[in-house]
C-alpha cells in the first residue's frame, strides 16, 4: 500500500522533475542530443521521449484507458522492447515535437488530479513515474559527465538553504552494536519500491564501519602504491576488467605538469580535493582498495542496519527512515538534489550522522556494498515489472544516493543496483574493519 498524498504534492513533484529534465537538455546542441553510441548512455533525444512515454503508458493508458497521445510512441520509446544499441538509429521525433508531447502528457496528468487528496492508486503511480523521471535526470547528469558536456545549471524548485561547508576529513570507525532488525519495507511504509518487499528479520553481528566514505586523498595513496598493478588485490573479474580497459587510476583523474592530480567534473579539470569522497569508481576498484587497506566493503545488511536503526532510550533499538531519524531531509543533513553541483568534503553535513557517528550515509556519493542484488523473500514486481527483476543476480547493490539524486525518493531502505564495471555513475564507497 502507498500512503495517500495531496494532489498539490503530486503536481509539485511532476513539475520539479520536469524542470530538472528541461534544465539538463536546454543548452545542448543537435549533435550533443544524439551523442556517441556507448553502452553506458542513451541518446538524449530518445531518452526524453521515453520518459514522457512512460508516464503516458503507465498512468493515462494502462490505468485509465486514455487514447495514445503519440502515433509511434510504443514503437520508439518502450525501453524493454527496444534494444539499447538500436536507439541511435530510430526515426525519433524532432526536438520541438518531442517537447510538445512532453508538455501534453504533463498537462493531461495534472488535469486529472481534481481531488485535494489523491487516491492511493494515483499516489503510487504518480510518484513512481515521477521518480522514474528523477532517475533519468540523474542518468542525464552522468551522461553529461561521461561526455564532458558543459556544467549544467539547476534553478531552485523550492526553498534551498545555503550549505555551510565544514571541510576536512573524518577518519576512524564507528562501532555499530549489531542486533536483530527488520530489513526492507512494510506494507504501511509511505512508499515502497518492489525490491524492498518485504521486511524480514535479520540478525547483524557487531561491526566497525568507517565514519565517512573513502576520500580522494586516501584513494590516491592506493593508486600511488601501485594498487592498479598489483593483481593480488583484485578479484579475477576485476583483473579481467582492469586489463581490458588499461585503467591505472580513476576514470576522470589525470596528472598535471607538476605531477599533482586533477579531477574532471563535466568539462572542467579541477585540483583534486583530498577531503572529498572519491567518486566514479566501480565495484572492482572499491573492492581492490579495501583489500589493499586490509578492510572490506560493508554488506547490504550492515549498511541498512547502520542507516535505519537507533537506540530507543530503553536499552533497545528503533527503526527510522533515515540515519538521523524520521525528520525530512534538509540542507544541514545531506548533499543531494544537485544544487551543490558536486561532492562535498566528507566532514560536512554533521546533522546527517547516524546514532554512532557515521556521516553522509545519505547523499554525496552512492556507496557500493559487498553484495549481489537479489530479491527478498516475498518479492513480487509492481506495475513496471522490469524495474528490478531483470537485474537480480548480476548487479551489485549500492546504497544512499549521490549529490545529484533527488532526496524525495531515497531513504535508508532504498536499494540501487549497477554492474560491477560501472564507473560512470556517481558512486564511491565506505569500508568496514575485517
Q: Which of 115, 146, 177 is the last residue of a domain?
A: 146
The answer to whether position 387 is within a domain reads yes
β-bridge mates for residue 399, sequence order: 367
What's the count of helices (H) and strands (E) in the chain, helices before strands?
A: 10, 15
Both 297 and 321 in one domain: the answer is yes
Same domain, 122 and 176: no
- Does residue 1 belong to any structural domain of this protein? no
Q: What single DSSP character describes residue 293?
A: H
Residues spanned by the domain of 249: 159-434
CB 333 within 8 A of CB 349: yes
- Rounded CA-CA distance 232/226 in Å is 11
Residue 316 placed within a domain: yes
Residues 109 and 190 in one domain: no
CATH assignment at residue 81: 1.20.120
What span, in angstroms and rounded, lies between the C-alpha atoms of 272 and 252? 11
What pTM was estimated for this model as a whole? 0.97
93 and 121 part of one domain? yes
What gap in Å lies between CA 300 and CA 98, rounded to an integer?
40
**C-beta atoms surrounding 353 within 10 Å:** 18
Whether 2 is covered by a domain: the verdict is no
- Are the C-beta atoms of 380 and 197 separated by less than 8 Å? yes
**φ, ψ for residue 32, nearest 5 deg:** -70, -30
Residues 172 and 216 in one domain: yes
Give the three-state DSSP class for 322. strand
Torsion of CA 48, 50, 56, 62, to 10 degrees: -170
How many structural domains compose the chain? 2
* Same domain flag for 342 and 414: yes
3-class secondary-structure state, position 277: strand
Closest to 237 (Cα-Cα) out of 87, 396, 425: 396
- Verify that 178 and 105 share a domain, yes or no: no
Is residue 309 a part of any domain in this protein?
A: yes
What Rg value do the Cα atoms of the chain yield, rounded? 22
Write down which residue in 121, 146, 171 finishes a domain.
146
Q: Which residues pair with 210 in a beta bridge?
A: 173
DSSP label at residue 226? T
Q: Is residue 422 part of a domain?
A: yes
pLDDT by position in tens, the chain (length 434): 799 999 999 999 999 999 999 999 999 999 999 999 999 999 999 999 999 999 999 999 999 999 999 999 999 999 999 999 999 999 999 999 999 999 999 999 999 998 899 999 999 999 999 999 999 999 999 999 999 999 999 998 877 777 778 878 899 999 999 999 999 999 999 999 999 999 999 999 999 999 999 999 999 999 999 999 999 999 999 999 999 999 999 999 999 999 999 999 999 999 999 999 999 999 999 999 999 999 999 999 999 999 999 999 999 999 999 999 999 999 889 999 999 999 999 999 999 999 999 999 999 999 999 999 999 998 999 999 999 999 999 999 999 999 999 999 999 999 999 999 999 999 999 999 99
Residues 163 and 104 in one domain: no
Amino acid at each position: 500500500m502507498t500512503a495517500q498524498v495531496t494532489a498539490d504534492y503530486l503536481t509539485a513533484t511532476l513539475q520539479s522533475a520536469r524542470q530538472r529534465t528541461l534544465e539538463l537538455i536546454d543548452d545542448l546542441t543537435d549533435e550533443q542530443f544524439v551523442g556517441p553510441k556507448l553502452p553506458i548512455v542513451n541518446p538524449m533525444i530518445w531518452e526524453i521521449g521515453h520518459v514522457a512515454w512512460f508516464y503516458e503508458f503507465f498512468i493515462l493508458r494502462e490505468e485509465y484507458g486514455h487514447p495514445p497521445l503519440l502515433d509511434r510512441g510504443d514503437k520508439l520509446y518502450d525501453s524493454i522492447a527496444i534494444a539499447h544499441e538500436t536507439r541511435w538509429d530510430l526515426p525519433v521525433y524532432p526536438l520541438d515535437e518531442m517537447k510538445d508531447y512532453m508538455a501534453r502528457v504533463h498537462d493531461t496528468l495534472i488535469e486529472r488530479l481534481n481531488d485535494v487528496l489523491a487516491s492511493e492508486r494515483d499516489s503510487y503511480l504518480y510518484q513512481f513515474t515521477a521518480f522514474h523521471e528523477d532517475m533519468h535526470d540523474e542518468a542525464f547528469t552522468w551522461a553529461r559527465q561521461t561526455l564532458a558536456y558543459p556544467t549544467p545549471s539547476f534553478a531552485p524548485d523550492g526553498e534551498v538553504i545555503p550549505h555551510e561547508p565544514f571541510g576536512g576529513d573524518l577518519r576512524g570507525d564507528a562501532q555499530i552494536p549489531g542486533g536483530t532488525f527488520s530489513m526492507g519495507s512494510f506494507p504501511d511504509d509511505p512508499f515502497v519500491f518492489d525490491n524492498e518487499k518485504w521486511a524480514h528479520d535479520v540478525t547483524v553481528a557487531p561491526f566497525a564501519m568507517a565514519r565517512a566514505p573513502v576520500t580522494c586523498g586516501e584513494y590516491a595513496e592506493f593508486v600511488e602504491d601501485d594498487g592498479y598493478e598489483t593483481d593480488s588485490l583484485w578479484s579475477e573479474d576485476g583483473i579481467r576488467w582492469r586489463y581490458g580497459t588499461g585503467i591505472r587510476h580513476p576514470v576522470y583523474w589525470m596528472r598535471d605538469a607538476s605531477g599533482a592530480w586533477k579531477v574532471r567534473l563535466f568539462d572542467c579539470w579541477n585540483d583534486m580535493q583530498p577531503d572529498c569522497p572519491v567518486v566514479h569508481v566501480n565495484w572492482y576498484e572499491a573492492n581492490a582498495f579495501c583489500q589493499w587497506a586490509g578492510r572490506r566493503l560493508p554488506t547490504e545488511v550492515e549498511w541498512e542496519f547502520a542507516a535505519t536503526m537507533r537506540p530507543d532510550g530503553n536499552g533497545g533499538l528503533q527503526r527510522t527512515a533515515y540515519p538521523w531519524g524520521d525528520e525530512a531531509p534538509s540542507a544541514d543533513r545531506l548533499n543531494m538534489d544537485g544544487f551543490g553541483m558536486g561532492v562535498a568534503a566528507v566532514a560536512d553535513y554533521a546533522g546527517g550522522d547516524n546514532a554512532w557517528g557515521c556521516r553522509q550515509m545519505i547523499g554525496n556519493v552512492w556507496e557500493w556494498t559487498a553484495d549481489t542484488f537479489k530479491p527478498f523473500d516475498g518479492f513480487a514486481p509492481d506495475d513496471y515489472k522490469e524495474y528490478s527483476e531483470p537485474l537480480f543476480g548480476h548487479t551489485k547493490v549500492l546504497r544512499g544516493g549521490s549529490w545529484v539524486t533527488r532526496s524525495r525518493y531515497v531513504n535508508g531502505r532504498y536499494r540501487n543496483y549497477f554492474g560491477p564495471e560501472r564507473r560512470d555513475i556517481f558512486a564511491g564507497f565506505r569500508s568496514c574493519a575485517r
